[in-house]
Amino acid sequence: MSTIFFIADTHFGHANILNFLNDDGKHVRDFISVEEMDEAMVDNWNRVVKPQDKVYHLGDVAMKRYALQTVARLNGHLKLVRGNHDIYDTEEYLEYFDDIYGCRVLDRILFTHIPIHPGNMGKFKLNVHGHIHERTLEYPYLNVSVERINYTPVSLDEIKCLM
């Protein structure tokens, strides 16, 4: 039996993100190096995701082209919902992802990179997204940026429980 997972904003290879500060002046990502950050995310991912599982990455996979290779080390059947920093040719992503989307809908939950405007929620019960990193929005939004989910993919069942 397989499980469906979600994660966003890994930013593999993005050394400068370690310098980003949140509103209280603390580092958004508290790692010593980009290598430590990437390894922590790979370890956390592979600890919960099994090879038969499906993972939707909700955008901003890697900031450097070479860092896309990190994706090859991740368990699961991977699907990408492109983010604003996923700027390389589609063929480069298809080396690591089975499918690429602009958005996905499962069980009346909308999965996007950037949160949609509240006026567009329509029939959707929830908008699961990334893009805003450590920040949050009020329900019906759920941010699965790595900073919000302890750098570990979350399952669809967990998301439904949070609703």
pLDDT for 103-155, tens place per residue?
A: 999 999 999 999 999 888 889 999 999 999 999 999 999 999 999 999 999 99
Rounded to the nearest angstrom, the gap between the alpha carbon of residue 115 and the centroid of all alpha carbons in its chain is 13
**pLDDT tens-digit map of 13-42:** 999 999 999 889 999 999 999 999 999 999
Confirm if 17 and 27 have CB atoms less than 8 A apart.
no
Averaged pLDDT, 71-86? 98
**Residue whose pair of structure tokens reads 């604003």 in the numeric block:** 84
- The overall average pLDDT reported for the chain is 96
Rounded to the nearest angstrom, the gap between the alpha carbon of residue 152 and the centroid of all alpha carbons in its chain is 9
Token digits of residue 37: 């950050």
User: At 161, is the pLDDT very low, low, confident or very high (cuts 50, 70, 90)?
Assistant: confident
Token digits of residue 49: 């995701």
**Residue whose pair of structure tokens reads 């439904």 in the numeric block:** 160
CA distance 56 to 153: 9
Q: Is 100 exposed, middle or buried (0-12, 13-18, 19+ CB in 10 A)?
A: middle
Q: What is the pLDDT of residue 151?
A: 98
Contacts of residue 134, Cβ cutoff 8 Å, sequence gap at least 6: 22, 28, 145, 147, 148
Residue-range domains of the chain with CATH: 4-162 (3.60.21.10)
- What value, to the nearest 5°, has the Cα angle with vertex 153 and ends 89 and 36? 75
Q: Is the pLDDT of residue 163 over 80?
A: no
